[in-house]
Amino acid sequence: MQKMGSLEVEKETTGWAARDPSGILSPYTYTLRNTGPEDVYVRVICCGICHTDIHQIKNDLGMSNYPMVPGHEVVGEVVEVGSEVTKFRVGDCVGVGVLVGCCKTCRPCKADIEQYCNKKIWSYNDVYTDGRPTQGGFAGAMVVHQKFVVKIPDGMSAEQAAPLLCAGVTVYSPLNHFGLKESGLRGAILGLGGVGHMGVKIAKAMGHHVTVISSSNKKREEAIEHLGADEYLVSSDTARMQGFADSLDYIIDTVPVCHPLEPYLSLLKVDGKLILMGVINTPLQFVSPMVMLGRKTITGSFVGSMKETEEMLEFCKERNLTSTIEVVKMDYVNTALERLEKNDVRYRFVVDVAGSKLEQ
């Protein structure tokens, strides 16, 4: 195993970066920090494209810094490890998700829910402890602290694992935390994109009765035949929506744009939960009796902890769950981002980074 000593030289890598809010990505070469004692140097194999990547590269949330290399569903191979790295060795297939740092001392960190640390460091569009900008997985390599690296289970392909690191754990975490893992629950997934399609698969694997709620009939066959949903509900079909009133234990709402909540709140049983997962930067509305008369909860959940990520990967491996993906090369990434914005993907793009010419 290579240890410290040979690691003092700064490493260069090339990624594809946005330079401004047009969000167009092009090659960008930058240096990575030296591999510290607890760092893992990863050669990127592939990286999923998440809806958040669009928000970030286009500065939708008003906090973008450029140049920005996006990508936070990263699978790669360990090339070097620091002297204090215990969990990984050279050659391991590993994953890196949404976060690369936390304070380690606050209540969430101590409770192993570091995704709620107020000082968390995002995998890209953030600043690392050494003052350098963090850059994501649309690049040849990354250097990541071992706490934020997970082992990909043997037998799971890199491309299949990538979307699990954000989309998969985003759904698994609330089901786990809110005690919604037992068999026989009735749940719904609102919006059938990258997170939604994983929601159907994971909830079905937990033994739930799963309804997909969508704005049109377009994805009915896909939802039922391919993903294994039990029911399909079109949100504008008032009569059928009324037929589903008070029937659901939970709804996972993955819609990333402003939408009314009341039609969905009415579908929940007493103590039912509407769990928000879409990043929406305009206020949502509801009248309070909608939650009072039924003691219903509107809550949110944000990705998942490293512990949950490991659990979720094992869960998917045991049940042979896979993501439904379209693999593309880096030179197609701008078209892929445009298509994702129009929901024109089944259901997650994964960039074959290792098989792409990054320098162009």
Residue-level pLDDT at 10? 77
Domain match, 26 and 160 both = yes
- CATH code for the domain of 227: 3.40.50.720
As a whole number, the mean pLDDT across the chain is 95
pLDDT band (50, 70, 90) for residue 61? confident
Domain match, 64 and 89 both = yes
Domain match, 23 and 140 both = yes
Residues sharing a CB contact under 8 Å with residue 5, sequence separation 6 or more, in sequence order: none
**Both structure tokens of 39:** 């760092």
Domain match, 246 and 184 both = yes
Is 240 within the bounds of a domain?
yes
10 Å CB burial of residue 73 (0-12, 13-18, 19+) is: buried
Is 3 within the bounds of a domain?
no
In 130-208, where do the E strands start and end? 133-134, 141-145, 149-151, 186-190
Domain match, 294 and 218 both = yes
The answer on pLDDT for 360 being more than 90 is: no
Query: For the residues 62-86, what does the mean pLDDT come to?
Result: 97
Is 309 within the bounds of a domain?
no
Domain match, 81 and 184 both = no
The whole-angstrom distance between residue 72's C-alpha and the CA centroid of its chain comes to 7
pLDDT band (50, 70, 90) for residue 107? very high
Q: Which domain holds residue 123?
A: 11-166+322-352
Domain match, 264 and 331 both = no
- CATH code for the domain of 78: 3.90.180.10
Q: How many domains does the chain have?
A: 2
Domain match, 227 and 341 both = no
Is 311 within the bounds of a domain?
no
Kindly report, residue by residue over 207-256, the tens digit of the pLDDT.
Answer: 999 999 999 999 999 999 999 999 999 999 999 999 999 999 999 999 98
pLDDT band (50, 70, 90) for residue 331? very high
Residue-level pLDDT at 279? 85
How many whole angstroms separate alpha carbon 344 and alpha carbon 335? 11
Query: For the residues 152-165, what does the mean pLDDT come to?
Result: 96
Query: For the residues 60-80, what does the mean pLDDT come to?
Result: 97
Residue-level pLDDT at 13? 97
Residue-level pLDDT at 317? 96
Is 37 within the bounds of a domain?
yes
The answer on pLDDT for 4 being more than 80 is: no
**The residue to which tokens 């009915």 are assigned:** 220
**The residue to which tokens 């039922």 are assigned:** 224
Domain match, 178 and 162 both = no
Is 183 within the bounds of a domain?
yes
The answer on pLDDT for 9 being more than 80 is: no
Is 315 within the bounds of a domain?
no
- Please name the amino acid found at residue 54: I
Domain match, 161 and 181 both = no
The answer on pLDDT for 291 being more than 90 is: yes
CA distances from 335 to 14, 18, 136, 285, 293 (A): 20, 14, 19, 34, 46
Domain match, 126 and 267 both = no
Query: For the residues 308-327, what does the mean pLDDT come to?
Result: 96
Percent of the chain with pLDDT strictly greater than 90: 92
pLDDT band (50, 70, 90) for residue 8? low
Is 4 within the bounds of a domain?
no
Domain match, 81 and 153 both = yes
